[in-house]
Amino acid sequence: MGLTYAQSFLRSRIVTSDNMMVLCRSYEKANHLSQTHEGRFFSDPRHCVPEADLHILAVKPQDAPKLFEEVSGLVQPGQVFLSIMAGVRLSAISAALGVEKVIRAMPNLPAQIGAGVTAFTSTDAVTRIELVMVQNLLSTTGKTLYVEREDLIDACTAISGSGPAYVYFFMNAMIEAAIKMGFSLSEAELLVSQTFTGAVDLYNKADLSCGDWIARVSSKGGTTEAAMEIFRKTALHEDIIAGANAAMERARELGR
């Protein structure tokens, strides 16, 4: 996701390759990326951390302690830190690095094609101008949503962050059903992917709820009603809600 952001910033020309610095885990990784991507790549934090105006923390949450240990003595007053780590709270980042200006964001996978959604929040020390700057950067990967309460970032992790996997799970089940009905794999994938694309486009272009659209597709005693009855009997609706809640609780566990 860090690389996705870097590429998106460069594509939008908000950032140039000269002032894009990327800190990698190893010299080998930095050397490899420098040959295939734009930007300046480093393996030693001493050569880039003190220079940056904005730091984007894009490691797995379980790797945060090691990252904090490596860079904490190098941060400078006034630097802004934007974290896209799941679960790691603003207070933990602020305490570990000794900084006040911290922004926490949760992007999702469609950011890779500029169709993502990123929720973000911040500490009080972040100025409005700095927030607008960061929002402009985040918007290069899709839509953004600022939330006042930090706990909603964990909720966004469960809904929009993990959400694409839920969609793919449902799509995969429909593809398997189509194949068992006699379609080839390519035919099944076309039917399912276009159905999802069309349904979402229709939802976005009309002022109707999901329930309204279900009612429009369904007819009494018809095929859709037969499927919906099975979904109700197996408590699929409740299971999806339970799964999202489990994802949110896991995000909170990662933060602790």
Q: What's the total number of domains in the chain?
A: 2
| CB-based contact 224:217 (threshold 8 Å) | yes
Do 140 and 44 belong to one domain?
Answer: yes
Residues 6+ apart with CB under 8 A from 78: 101
User: 225 lies in which domain range?
Assistant: 163-255
Do 144 and 75 belong to one domain?
Answer: yes
Mean pLDDT for the chain? Answer: 92
Between CA 59 and CA 72 the distance in angstroms is 15
Q: Which residue has the higher pLDDT, 3 or 218?
A: 218
* pLDDT mean over 26-46: 87
Between CA 218 and CA 234 the distance in angstroms is 19
Binned at pLDDT 50, 70 and 90, residue 61 comes out as confident
Residue 217's nearest CA partner among 197, 195, 232, 236 is 195
Tell me the residue type at 56: I
Cα–chain center distance at 17: 24
Binned at pLDDT 50, 70 and 90, residue 1 comes out as confident
CA atoms within 13 A on the CB side of 243: 13
- Tell me the CATH number at 100: 3.40.50.720
* pLDDT mean over 36-40: 84
Residue 216 domain-assigned (yes or no): yes
Last residue of a domain, one of 93, 121, 149: 149
Each residue of 63-118: pLDDT tens digit? 999 999 999 899 998 999 999 988 899 999 999 999 999 999 999 999 989 899 99
Residue 156 domain-assigned (yes or no): no
Between CA 20 and CA 11 the distance in angstroms is 12
Residue 155 domain-assigned (yes or no): no
Residue 154 domain-assigned (yes or no): no
Last residue of a domain, one of 149, 182, 198: 149
pTM: 0.83
Do 170 and 219 belong to one domain?
Answer: yes
| CB-based contact 42:22 (threshold 8 Å) | yes
Is residue 34 over pLDDT 90?
no
Is residue 255 over pLDDT 80?
no
Residue 130 domain-assigned (yes or no): yes
Between CA 141 and CA 134 the distance in angstroms is 12
Last residue of a domain, one of 149, 181, 210: 149
Residue 20 domain-assigned (yes or no): yes
Do 215 and 98 belong to one domain?
Answer: no
Do 101 and 202 belong to one domain?
Answer: no
Residue 174 domain-assigned (yes or no): yes
Residue 220 domain-assigned (yes or no): yes
Do 131 and 225 belong to one domain?
Answer: no
- Tell me the CATH number at 209: 1.10.3730.10
